[in-house]
Structure 1
Amino acid sequence: MSVTQKAAASAGRAVPGDSVPRRVGRAALRPFRPADQVAEAVEVGRRLQRSTATGRRIVVDDLGTGADTAVVTALLARSYAHYRHDRVLAVDATGRSPSLGTRLGAEEAPDLAEGVDGAAFEVAREGLAQTGDGLWTVATARDDAAVYASRLLPLSRFFGVTLVAGGAGAAFTDVVGESAHARVWVVRATRAATARVGRALDLFVQGGREDEARRTVVVLFDERRREDPRLDAVRAGRIVAESGAGVVRLAHDRHLAQGGEVRTRRIAEATHRTILDAAAEALNRAVDGDHPYSETRKGERL
């Protein structure tokens, strides 16, 4: 974090993702957006609003690369809650700080294991923290696998989309992943991380589990600016996409790097486009299984 970011954080001010010249330019050009950009925005909204016969569960995993799954999950959750007409639940199983609750602006996220009653939503909501219209969050221990069947499954039926943020090797994340409708792998934008993604997808193919690769979206995340300058992200993305997985690159964003609550109006324009694309990709793969929606997608797609 830079000196400027630290000063802003200490003063309680949110650092904008885009620089001042870029924000001014965006504001000046907004009334003159080309028709194709308007059409793209409408199309993304339509994809995010797809109806689901039953609730969809999406697990967000770091594949052991140490990437910040909490902040990406917060962005995805805000996107779904904004566009959809049903409820969205974001579950924090990361065990890290800043937590998913912090990223969503919750003062404290309740513990899933401590009395979330799934008899009816009006009762269940008492054990959750609401962080916006149609959006709730709750936390759970990384290694409490038993709470998935006893608490989360009954609870998730009240939600159109349930997101679970966790990390590789954690018991809770692993058990959710076994029955998740789609997965999002958030990995560092480095050569080592992309090689790990490639190996994991190869294992799917070799094990006859190609359908799991096609239900996966990979987010190459530049948490630190130009974390690996030698990474050829476009080439790496094309190689990963050959498995059937979706791939997007989430560029460094000063607002996300600040570490506090994610305020969607403060994130960079490129971040906004990329997250909407990732959210639509993940949802469509969750709905369509191993035959994901295939129309042209925009954003920072690779």
Structure 2
Amino acid sequence: MSATQTAVPRTVSGDGWPRRVGRAVLRPFRPVGEVADAIEVGARLQRSTATGRRIVVDDLGTGADTAVVTALLGRVFAHYRHDRVLAVDATGGLPSLCTRLGTVREGGLGGGVDTTSFESARSSLGEVGERLWTVPADPGDAGVYVAGLLPLSRFFGVTLVAGSGGGFVDAVGAGAHARVRVVRATRDAAARVGRELDRFVRDGRAAELGRTVVVVYDHEHREDPGFDAARTARIVAESGAETVIWPHDRHLAQGAAVSPRRISEATHRTVLRVAAEALNRAVDGDRPTVRQGSAP
């Protein structure tokens, strides 16, 4: 290899080889209850909506990877649903949502998307796969929400917006049907979540808790050994927000394009649960429900 060439890291799978082999061998013998759960989750993901639902995925300033969570949620919705899904990248960081989706950046909401029809808008969008599209947005441009995203989102059953603060994300969040707050698995991040939830109550916005899913994301594998994820989940769940613990996944931690075939079994189950709960709350508003697989 020449000095100018850079070695490309080998893509790893979320599960180790023994676990992958075990999954393949046992797949035909899955318990009846597990099969029933999968059918129930699929039905929830296919819920019809009178109008498109907008879901914001942000990190509450904790530096969690909203791009990878949004990429997987987008793929889940596109796989299970029969309408279009849009994933908007307003993260302003790396790896970007486009990187996680394995596509190139196309157009941009700030560039003047023609929203006369979907056919006129599609030239400004990046096509990820069947029913899944993506577009970048300037995190600081609040005006593009009304001028660009609102008219564009009517062509999509679900619109996901990945961000880490900024005027655009704040503007979308004010009118979002649901919010997924992705936070790092640390005590500092848990304290930040607690303050944010308390602020909702103080400001008379307690109803927003019923539209909130908190994802405790273990990106760096026990980044904070003193963090008690289960206890944090129970405390947050008392507020009315759903809490899901997202375990460490070696494949996602690589920071490259996500291959759904390489994520771990635990990640697969988790993203389905997050997607179903986020959509459930986006449709039902402030009427939270208790679902199997919720916080322990």
Instruction: Give the residue type in structure 1 aligned to 2:110.
Output: A
The aligned counterpart of 1:85 is: 82
- Percent sequence identity over matched residues? 66
**Matches of 1:10 and 1:273, distance apart in 2:** 33
Quote the residue 1:6 is aligned against.
none
Contact 2:105-2:136 within 8 A present in 1 as well: no
Cα separation, 2, equivalents of 1:98 and 1:191: 24
Give distance in 2, aligned partners of 1:109 and 1:221.
Answer: 29
Report the AA paired with residue 174 of structure 2. Answer: E
Shift of 1:298: 2.4
**The one of 283, 287, 291 aligned to 2:283:** 287
SS in 2 for 1:60: strand
The 3-state SS of whatever aligns with 1:113 is helix
Which of 109, 112, 122 is residue 109 of structure 2 equivalent to?
112
CA distance in 2, matches of 1:116, 1:16: 38
Distance 1:122 1:267 in 2: 33
3-state SS of paired residue (2:109): coil
- Total equivalences in the alignment: 291
What does 1:219-238 align with in structure 2 at a 5 Å threshold?
219-238=215-234
Q: What is the letter of the counterpart of residue 95 of structure 1?
A: G
Shift of 1:214: 1.0
Instruction: Give runs of aligned pairs for residues 157-196 of structure 1, distance below 5 A.
Output: 157-168=154-165, 170-196=166-192
The letter of the residue matching 2:135 is V
1:154-199 deviations in Å (ceiling 9; x for gaps): 000000000000013x111001100000000000011110111011
C-alpha distance in structure 2 between counterparts of 1:140 and 1:113, whole Å: 6
Q: Is residue 252 of structure 1 aligned with residue 248 of structure 2?
A: yes
Name the SS for the 1:260 alignment partner.
coil
Distance 2:161 2:227 in 1: 29
The one of 169, 180, 195 equivalent to 1:199 is 195
Tell me the equivalent position of 1:275: 271
| Equivalent residues in 2 for 1:31-70, closer than 5 Å | 31-70=28-67
Q: Secondary structure at the match of 1:218?
A: strand
Write the distance in 1 (CA, Å) between the matches of 2:108 and 2:30. Answer: 45
1:216 maps to: 212
Matched residue SS, 2:39: helix
Pairwise CA distance, 1:13? 4.3
For the Cα contact (< 8 Å) 2:145–2:171, is it kept in 1?
yes
List runs of 5+ in structure 2 lacking aligned partners. 1-5
TM-score, length basis structure 1: 0.94
State the alpha-carbon separation in 1 of the partners of residues 7 and 273 from structure 2.
33
Equivalent position to 2:20, from 20, 23, 44: 23
CA displacement 1:236-269 (0-9 Å, x = unmatched): 1000001100000111111101111111111000
More off after superposition, 101-110 vs 249-258: 101-110
What is the CA distance between 1:114 and its match in structure 2? 1.2
Per the normalisation by structure 2, the TM-score is 0.96
Decide whether the 8 Å contact of 2:53 with 2:158 is kept in 1: yes
Cα distance between partner residues in 2 of 1:81 and 1:273: 16
Unaligned 5+ segments in structure 1 are 1-8
Specify the alignment match of 1:296 in structure 2: 291
Aligned alpha-carbon RMSD (Å): 1.3
Give the Cα–Cα distance (whole angstroms) in 2 for the partners of residues 244 and 30 of structure 1.
35
